[in-house]
Amino acid sequence: MPLTVTLWSIGALLGVGALGIALASNAAASRVVYGLCFGLSIILFVAAVVPRSAVALTASFPLGLPWIGAHFRLDVLSAFFLAIVNLGGAAASLYAIGYGAHEKHPSRILPFFPVFLAGMNLVILADDAFAFLVAWEFMSLSSWALVMAHHHDAENRRAGVVYLLMASFGTAALLMAFGLLAGSVGGYSFADIRDATHGPSWKSGLVLALVLLGAGSKAGLVPLHIWLPLAHPAAPSHVSALMSGVMTKVAIYGFIRIVFDLLGPPEFWWSMPPLTLGAITAMLGILSATIQSDLKKLLAYSTIENIGIVFVALGLALAFKANGMALPAGLAFTAALFHVFNHSLFKSLLFFGAGAVLNATGERDIERLGGLIHFMPRTAFLFLGACVAISALPPLNGFVSEWLVFQAILLSPSLPQWSLKLLVPAVGVALALSASLCAGCFVRAFGIAFLGRARSTAAKSAQETDLWSLSAMSGLLGLCLLAGLIPSYLIDTITPAAKAFVGGHMPTQGGIPWLSIVPIAESRSSYNGLLVFLFIVFSAFFAALIVRVLGSNASRRGPAWGCGYPDPGTAAQYTGSSFAQPIRRTLGNVAFVARDHLEMPPPGDTRPARFGVEIHDRVWDGVYTPILRAVDFCAGQLDRTHFLTIQGYLGLVFATLVALLLVIAIWP
């Protein structure tokens, strides 16, 4: 029953897309389309979370390739991801009811938005390689169309080209991975792949590499992340939220589905690429985020960091699973899925906040914002909540998943392999480093954009955003708080998936007194977010009360003290660039070869002094520039064949023919 409802709702979403084309010229179109998307997403969410037996539901249709058909399946993992996708989808649709009204060309967005939602849902339900890839392409292309919605901007056009290239590359990698999985028999349905005998070790290694390329490029794994900070900010903010908060999770679903389910029992070395790449991704992502001044780009880089954390947790789960350590594997897997859920909440919220700021001021550059806490107090509060959550600070939800990952790392000395014994501590340090850098990054983002004094007239005249947007953001923050204070229920929701995919799970958390969470045993570690939160609230009120009784209540307003040098101008405030300077100098030196240039004219010269920052993107310079150069070179060489004489062309055809015949003759 839930699967039928789900598939009908997805069909309806496609219909809404068509409706979007028909209505596009109408003034109320955006409300209708987004309202319908909201309703359908809620239905899909309910269908995913409604309690049912653990048996997977399946359906197949005579669509697609004639000898396969289209198979769909709803099991514990797809139900979990379906819930995430549609929660994000519902929030984005609700937000867009208000936000979409500001869109100048709704006809470029309305048809694609519901299709994008439908594509993501279909990827998660697909149960054969063909349906999976078709849905994957649906998702990629519709989101590409949404990225290109504002194509008058040259930067967005560049983002579109890079995204399209990387997306096609990713799909090609997945196509080959499925080809290898299906083998020469060609059983492309997931059930056939599961039943097939698993190939030799090199073959599964190759599949793992291809999946890392395919799903990793969609998720934003370094060094395949380059499209992400270009494309996510280019889209309208509610789409950015969906791409960052939800679409990257669909990519992670693809990784889990293939590596944990289809590829068979893991070997220990499978865990090393995700662990290493995840740690590098987390570090590089957050360092890049720290030096960005474009708010949406900053958020996109921070998405890359969070993907890194998820991949580290998945790598740990693989390592434990391969060594038959069921309980730690369950813990790491739970941590990964918990973080996936958390990130989908607070990243959507952050993008909504950035969109609200963009609408109110027309600015994405934090260096031209400031003081928004006075003009947009509600948005500021909600954005602050998301900043706390993403910085992995208790008592909000980001901390819980990070804490679970650390608990999993603490169990890894019992892994027998030496390579893992040496790798895991380094990964743990990278994780701790990225978590603390993340706090610095979001202090900077919030502090420069929302605190201080307005740096431009646009920021000064900002107005609070509409109620639709505010309600979507409040809902997400409420969920962040709930997941942070009572994580036990969410963990218990993940338990069946952990049981099915890694063979172990955390102890049931629901019955533990005081709603604590206990990953292994109470003597090892436990955490109670609710109690800590209540203590903090109680202590804060207690302190305020005591101060009120013992001390003075008087307060007055005056000019800022500033050590006796009050400065009425706003330019003397700390800027985002100056805030990031210490990090740029210490860690950025290594990561980006960052250099500060100060050009100071000699005394008497009236030229202004100039300050510049030089940043190198090592991934772009080291990986993509050589590839582009090689492609250019090959194209240049092949270009010569365009200018041959007729004899030359005939000779070419003859040579090819001979070469092919030789191949056939020599082939055993």
Partner 1 sequence: MALIYDLAAQSTQMILVLSLAPLLLGFTRKVKARLLRRRGPSIFQPYRDLLRLMRKEVVLADNASWLFRSAPYLIFAATWVAAALVPTFATGLMFSWSADLIVITALLGSVRFVLALAGMDVGTSFGGIGSSREMMFASLAEPAMITIVFVVALIAGSTQLSEIAFHMLSHVELRVSYGLALIGLVIVAIAENGRIPVDNPATHLELTMVHEAMVLEYSGRHLAVIELAAALKLLLYVSLIACIFAPWGLAPHGADLRAMTFGAAAYVAKVAVGGFLLAFFEISTAKMRVFRVPDFLGAALMLGLLGTLLRFVSGSF
Q: Contact between 282 and partner 1 (CB under 8 A)?
A: no
Query: Which amino acid does the sequence have at 640?
Result: R
- Which of 5, 496, 526, 613 is in the footprint of partner 1 by CB under 8 A? 526
Helix (H, G, I), strand (E, B) or coil at 599: strand
Q: What are phi and psi of 418, to 5 degrees?
A: -65, -40
- The one segment of 5-13, 61-69, 77-85, 431-439 that binds partner 1 by CB under 8 A: 431-439
Q: How far is the CB of 575 from partner 1 (least distance, A)?
A: 8
- The one segment of 65-73, 170-178, 191-199, 533-541 that binds partner 1 by CB under 8 A: 533-541
Residues in 385-414 that interact with partner 1 by CB under 8 A: 388, 391-394, 399, 403, 406-407, 409-410, 412-413
CA angle (628 as vertex; 625, 633 as ends), nearest 5: 125
Look up tokens 């202004």; give the residue. 608
CA 535/CA 64 separation, integer angstroms: 58
Q: Using the minimum distance from each CB to partner 1, give the nearer residue, 33 or 517.
A: 517
Q: Using the minimum distance from each CB to partner 1, give the nearer residue, 19 or 291.
A: 291
CA 240/CA 242 separation, integer angstroms: 5
Burial of 552: CB neighbours in 10 Å, binned 0-12, 13-18, 19+: exposed
Q: Using the minimum distance from each CB to partner 1, give the nearer residue, 186 or 510.
A: 510
Residues in 361-380 that interact with partner 1 by CB under 8 A: 370-371, 373-374, 377
Residues in 461-520 that interact with partner 1 by CB under 8 A: 514, 516
CA 444/CA 306 separation, integer angstroms: 18
- Which of 34, 253, 341, 527 is in the footprint of partner 1 by CB under 8 A? 527
- Which of 574, 611, 633, 654 is in the footprint of partner 1 by CB under 8 A? 574
Q: Using the minimum distance from each CB to partner 1, give the nearer residue, 341 or 442.
A: 442
- Which of 555, 606, 637, 647 is in the footprint of partner 1 by CB under 8 A? 555
Q: How far is the CB of 525 from partner 1 (least distance, A)?
A: 4
Q: Contact between 324 and partner 1 (CB under 8 A)?
A: no
Residues in 578-637 that interact with partner 1 by CB under 8 A: 578-583, 585-587
From residue 247 to residue 276, what is the string marking binding to partner 1 with x (rule CB under 8 A)? ------------------------------
Is residue 369 within 8 A of residue 361, CB to CB? The reply is: yes
Q: Using the minimum distance from each CB to partner 1, give the nearer residue, 70 or 275.
A: 275
Q: How far is the CB of 433 from partner 1 (least distance, A)?
A: 4
CA 403/CA 423 separation, integer angstroms: 19
Q: How far is the CB of 598 from partner 1 (least distance, A)?
A: 16
Q: What are phi and psi of 569, to 5 degrees?
A: -75, 155
CA 230/CA 154 separation, integer angstroms: 12
Q: Using the minimum distance from each CB to partner 1, give the nearer residue, 128 or 402.
A: 402
Contact residues for 264 (Cβ-Cβ < 8 A; gap 6+): 198, 204
Strands 610-614 vs 595-599: parallel, antiparallel or unpaired? antiparallel
Dihedral Cα 227, 232, 233, 234, nearest 10 deg = 80
Secondary structure in 3-state letters for 634-658: HHHHHHHHHHCCHHHHHHHHHHHHH
- Which of 35, 452, 496, 503 is in the footprint of partner 1 by CB under 8 A? 452
Is residue 212 within 8 A of residue 225, CB to CB? The reply is: no
- The one segment of 1-9, 254-262, 550-558, 641-649 that binds partner 1 by CB under 8 A: 550-558
Q: How far is the CB of 339 from partner 1 (least distance, A)?
A: 15
Strands 70-74 vs 57-61: parallel, antiparallel or unpaired? antiparallel
Q: Using the minimum distance from each CB to partner 1, give the nearer residue, 245 or 428.
A: 428
Residues in 149-168 that interact with partner 1 by CB under 8 A: none
- DSSP letters, 452-466, are S--SSHHHHT-----
Q: How far is the CB of 355 from partner 1 (least distance, A)?
A: 22
